[in-house]
Structure 1
Amino acid sequence: MPSSHIVELSIRIAQNTTKVHDFLVSRNLPGPSFDENAPQTLLPPDTDPDIVLAHRAVIDDCRELRMLMLGPREHVMSYQANDLVSQKAITQFRLAHAVPIGGETTFADLAANTGLGPTHIRKLLRHAIAHKIFREPRPGVVAHSAASRALAEDAELHNWVEYATHELWLAAYHTPDAMQKFPGSGEPNETGFAVANNTDKSLFAFFSDHPDRLARFAAVMRFVTKRPELGPELVVDAFPWASLPEGGTVVDVGGSHGLVCFELARRFPQLHFVVQDLDEPVVRHAETQKPAEIAGRVSFMVHDFFEPQPVRDADVYFLRAVLHNWSDTYAVKILRALIPALKPGSRIVVNDVVVPEPGSMSDAQDLRTRTSDMTQVILQNAGDRELADWMALFKAADERFLFRGASPMQGSTRLWVLVVEWDGA
């Protein structure tokens, strides 16, 4: 007897699609479209949570239904090695910028303006058009779709696609080679990224020698951290900051531009904050961006978190999305570097990914989780950790780190807050 699961999926897809459609109609919002002037996102930021969930369910269920309808053999064969070729070319040759917004051009003109062969231009763009990037309103004529217009107008999106195709794609390809060459390595310079770039340096050390690529990487990281689930405001309610003593100090280790501390300083005027980052230009720039009303309680300093912590006796040492960038060997070093500065009762508050145990997630959530984890492997030989891994990490760093608990951060689908207390003399 055939399973009814595909029918259940299709019914659920129809029901949730109707919910989204009815919401758009009730708000007089446009429906989904790739027309050049279509909105870049379907749902506005203030969308009701149940509609957001319905929207995500449609996307996830459609993926599962597609896989089931393909069947195992066709599903495996559906992975296309050349899916990113046209996107790489679009960013490399700035093709989205070469097509006038609201106007048209031709394959021949694009070839002449870029120096590429006309046959190559035609094949690249028709491949992109098949992915809804650009349109061909008449044979040989190119115009924008909503997706290509976004690449022309949204520098953050363009940076992201350029980074994904020029850095991640090549590093991913070479990751199995790195695993074969450096079995079981946790070294950040023995990665797919290192092999792809023929270097013996880690990603951060390599980028420091290539300022243009470092600038793009930094821009992409800023773009990624703008996601609502990573909002600094979520940290306000993630830990009992108000319980810290009057005049208490919070050190944000690897805190970059200090956005979290800015938010905390506004809400907790009894506290002082020190933001540390290795990148001196970032620190200098961040100092100029401090809001006037909190400037006296937030300071910045250059610090390498592998070196002994210079700010002693703080009440909290906060690490947000830091440790998942490093293998256990280096994460232990980061934690141990805090020890000389700790006083009894100092707490280490870690705001990072906690991976649910296998089998506890939906297939779609599992894929997103494993994709994020693999990105860290590709770039740094690092990755996300399950709760048991976190507890083992703290214990490996020092037996005097007492694990005080962990909980999901409200408003985020992946970040948790883990609290460790120092019990040493």
Structure 2
Amino acid sequence: MSTPSMTQLSARIGENTAKVNAYLASHDLPGPSFEVDAPQQLLPPGTDAEMVLARQSVIDDCLELRNLLLGPREHIMTTHQAINLVSPKAITAFRLAHAFPVGSETTFAELAAASGLGETHVRKLVRHAVSVHNLFAEPRPGVITHSAASRLLAEDDAVHSWVEYATHELWDAAFHAPDAMRRFPGSGEPNETGFSVANATDKSFFAFMSDHPDRLRRFAAVMRYITQRPELGPELVVGAFPWGELPAGGTVVDVGGSHGLVCIELASKFPTLKFVVQDLDEPVIRDADARKPAEVADRVTFMAHNFFNPQPVHGADVYFVRAVLHNWSDKYAVEVLRNLIPALKPGAAVVVNDVVTPEAGSVPKVAERQFRISDLSQVLLLNAGDRELAGWTSLFGAADPRFKFKGAAPMPGSTRMWMIHYVWEDA
């Protein structure tokens, strides 16, 4: 796709900024700020789609205009600043945001005493964080207060966990990824990754995390935080597939369904259907089973199951696989699909709800960037990744030609997730 000119970008930025500003004023909403009492997000939930798009357009166009104005040389020199992750890594590691109450002031000496760090190091870390990340503020020389961003770190455990995860697990894995690629060229094995090299282990990410409960809890908190994004809401699945056309008494098996949020949502909307939620983690299964709403309890059951073993529930109408296969390279994803085959009756649907990446150059660069970041993150941790639609079709073809493609489409309300529909034709 061709890059808009500077004047085109500037005009769009001005036009869409005016739209957002007018919307905020007409709804008596505060303007953007990093002051400590500023709202955590600019547009509240439920904002109409046109305004959400206008805001995103401003963000994207500002990034593109910045890159154009930098030019190739300055862009390279300013973009590749690994040093920028040092301050948030230290701030979360030493819990500096928790070292003094929101609404109060502190000094570098007091922060040093609270954290056990040297005062010189604290001063350099915090001032870097203020200038680069809007973490904390320095209203007077040597006096530190919270900003809206550091307040989030102090008060929202999920946000704190996310920054820890990004600056510890992901950063360490990224640093060692070239070493892993050199040692294991072309590997699709989950224990031959940047993460494995960083942690000097021959275990996969999930196996290693199981041996480190504190890091596993942090990762689980991050996953909960990510899955709470509106575009991943289980309610979006309701209208993304013709569940109501399934026969009364029909069964849906959610393979790797964790806490069963999707099936609970579906059960509340389709009272004639039954659901089986499967997950490898038995404590998760027990907890989810104990917490399921009473009104659907007789139609949503939970089962411990490893999807690398043959599927134990035979004859179901739909086998639903949500956000699972992107965690595995093709070799293992094919194995997961093949393990369904002994249980499939003719006409059974296999529905994958997962990310579909766009073909290179088919969407604006700023939109494509997020897909590529997500894709490469999977490589660093799992030697896996997201797939283009052609990659999904070749995956099913490699699993068995009796899987027949019935269609694929973006899930309404989501910018990344698709519903990919196959039917088993054993003829």
Which range, TM-score by smaller chain? over 0.9
How many pairs are equivalent? 423
Q: Tell me the equivalent position of 1:348.
A: 350
Q: Tell me the equivalent position of 1:61.
A: 61
Task: For 2:35, give the aligned amino acid.
Answer: D
Task: For 1:284, give the aligned amino acid.
Answer: R
2:71 corresponds to 1:71: yes
2:21 corresponds to 1:21: yes
Task: For 2:362, give the aligned amino acid.
Answer: S
Per-residue Cα deviation, 1:291-332 (whole angstroms, up to 9, x for no partner) = 111011000011100001111110000000111110000000
Q: Tell me the equivalent position of 2:98.
A: 97
Q: 1 CA distance for matches of 2:385 and 2:198?
A: 19
Please tell me whether the aligned partners of residues 252 and 317 of structure 1 are also in contact (alpha carbons under 8 angstroms): yes
Q: 2 CA distance for matches of 1:219 and 1:279?
A: 16
Please list, as runs of the form range in 1=range in 2, the aligned pairs for 1:171-250 lying within 5 A after superposition. Answer: 171-250=173-252
Q: 2 CA distance for matches of 1:57 and 1:4?
A: 13
> Following TM superposition, where does structure 1 have runs of at least 4 consecutive aligned residues deviating by more than 2 angstroms?
none
Per-residue Cα deviation, 1:146-194 (whole angstroms, up to 9, x for no partner) = 0000100011100100111110011011111111110000000000110
| Structure 1 portions without partners, runs of 5+ | none
Query: Which secondary structure does the structure 1 equivalent of 2:392 belong to?
Result: helix
Task: For 1:61, give the aligned amino acid.
Answer: D
Q: 2 CA distance for matches of 1:83 and 1:143?
A: 21
Per-residue Cα deviation, 1:88-145 (whole angstroms, up to 9, x for no partner) = 1111011001121110011001111111000000000001111210011111111000
Q: Tell me the equivalent position of 2:149.
A: 147
Query: Which secondary structure does the structure 2 equivalent of 1:373 belong to?
Result: helix
Normalised by the length of structure 1, the TM-score is 0.98
Q: Tell me the equivalent position of 1:118.
A: 119
Task: For 2:115, give the aligned amino acid.
Answer: T
Query: Which secondary structure does the structure 2 equivalent of 1:137 belong to?
Result: strand
The 10-residue stretch of structure 1 (105-114 or 62-71) with the greater mean CA deviation from structure 2? 105-114
Q: 1 CA distance for matches of 2:114 and 2:269?
A: 54
Q: 1 CA distance for matches of 2:46 and 2:358?
A: 28
Shift of 1:424: 1.7
Q: 1 CA distance for matches of 2:206 and 2:308?
A: 14
2:401 corresponds to 1:420: no
Q: 1 CA distance for matches of 2:235 and 2:16?
A: 30
The 10-residue stretch of structure 1 (171-180 or 51-60) with the greater mean CA deviation from structure 2? 171-180
Task: Provide the alpha-carbon RMSD of the alignment.
Answer: 1.0
Please tell me whether the aligned partners of residues 255 and 320 of structure 1 are also in contact (alpha carbons under 8 angstroms): yes
Shift of 1:4: 7.9
Q: 1 CA distance for matches of 2:358 and 2:102?
A: 45
| Structure 2 portions without partners, runs of 5+ | none
Q: Tell me the equivalent position of 2:264.
A: 262
Q: Tell me the equivalent position of 1:329.
A: 331
Query: Which secondary structure does the structure 1 equivalent of 2:159 belong to?
Result: helix
State the identity %: 68
Query: Which secondary structure does the structure 1 equivalent of 2:83 belong to?
Result: coil
Query: Which secondary structure does the structure 1 equivalent of 2:297 belong to?
Result: helix
Task: For 2:376, give the aligned amino acid.
Answer: M
Shift of 1:399: 1.2
Task: For 2:58, give the aligned amino acid.
Answer: V
Please tell me whether the aligned partners of residues 276 and 302 of structure 1 are also in contact (alpha carbons under 8 angstroms): yes
